[in-house]
Amino acid sequence: MAYMAADSTDIDRMPRGGPDASCLDRLLETDRPEYLDRDDVDDGVKRSVIRALEWTGEFFGNHDKFAATALDLIAGVPDPKILELGAGHGQVSRKLLENHPTAQLTVTDINPVSVANIAAGELGSHPRAVVREMDATAIDAPDKSFDLAIFALSFHHLRPAAASRVFAEGTRVADQLLIIDLPRPPAPLHLVRLATMLPFAPVVPFVHDGIISSLRSYSPSALRRLARHADPSIEVELRGGLMTPQVVIARAAG
């Protein structure tokens, strides 16, 4: 049945392409979880996906770009407190600490193995970092305890109702919420891109998760709808391209 707009009980049925998604776009989505989201998958497989994300982020400069986008948003704040949600490998937090002399980082993920691995690395003993387990949909922190919360390449993991809670929670605990996620290309282009990746999915866990990520990515109209569902007064600014990561900056009104 087609999505019928705006009602809170319907939000989980909203297409990833948004309420106005085309028929083809509606076909290009899945409820199938990524390896990263499954309890029945060996931790070694999940680690291989996280390591691939870490490596590709370094190679293509994404960690640097994400950190630069975050630091731009808090350029006027003297000793910013930053919360990273869904940190995975922690490299974005590492860049933030490297590129800001006084920023304080709370580095978090919902996955306890990722948190333990981050804590065992250099962030675990960094004087300006705290590493914690945390769910982005139920953030264990008081209101306005951070200047910025950042959630990179993780938002698409969440179904619409949970994704909407990230808008509510992120703007509750931080003055600004920065979500950076995969773009959702126009459907014909999306189809071509998926077709080029498909042959590698059975053998490369990173590609398997990449295809599912792409199918689960939200369009700009979906992102706006999710924010509005969380709270109509949340202000949303969208940036980003057709094939480059989407950048969402959300702020609670007032």
Stretch that binds ligand SAM, among 23-31, 81-89, 118-126, 181-189 (CB under 6 A): 81-89
- Using the structure block, give the residue that is written with the tokens 């975050």: 70
Which neighbouring-strand residues pair with 176? 148
Q: Which of 109, 147, 169, 181 binds ligand SAM (CB under 6 A)?
A: 109
Rounded Cα distance between 34 and 37, Å, is 5
Residue 135 contacts ligand SAM per CB under 6 A: yes
Stretch that binds ligand SAM, among 7-15, 19-27, 148-156, 242-250 (CB under 6 A): 148-156
Q: Which of 14, 28, 36, 252 binds ligand SAM (CB under 6 A)?
A: 36
Of residues 52 and 77, the one with the C-beta less far from ligand SAM? 52
158 phi/psi in degrees, rounded to 5: -100, 140
Query: Looking at the chain, which runs of residues are DSSP E strands?
Result: 81-85, 104-109, 129-133, 146-152, 174-181, 235-240, 246-251
Strand-pair category, 129-133 with 235-240: unpaired
As measured in angstroms, the least distance from the Cβ of 13 to ligand SAM is: 20
Residue 154 contacts ligand SAM per CB under 6 A: yes
Q: Which of 14, 71, 85, 223 binds ligand SAM (CB under 6 A)?
A: 85
Which residue's CB comes closest to ligand SAM? Answer: 88
Contact 49, 58 (CB under 8 A): no
Residue 246 contacts ligand SAM per CB under 6 A: no
- Using the structure block, give the residue that is written with the tokens 């509606």: 26
Residue 86 contacts ligand SAM per CB under 6 A: yes
Stretch that binds ligand SAM, among 2-10, 103-111, 124-132, 234-242 (CB under 6 A): 103-111
User: Residue 34: which residues within 8 A CB-CB, separation 6 or more?
Assistant: 49, 157, 208, 209, 212, 213
Binding-site ranges for ligand SAM (CB under 6 A): 36, 53, 57, 85-88, 92, 109-111, 114, 135-137, 152-154, 157
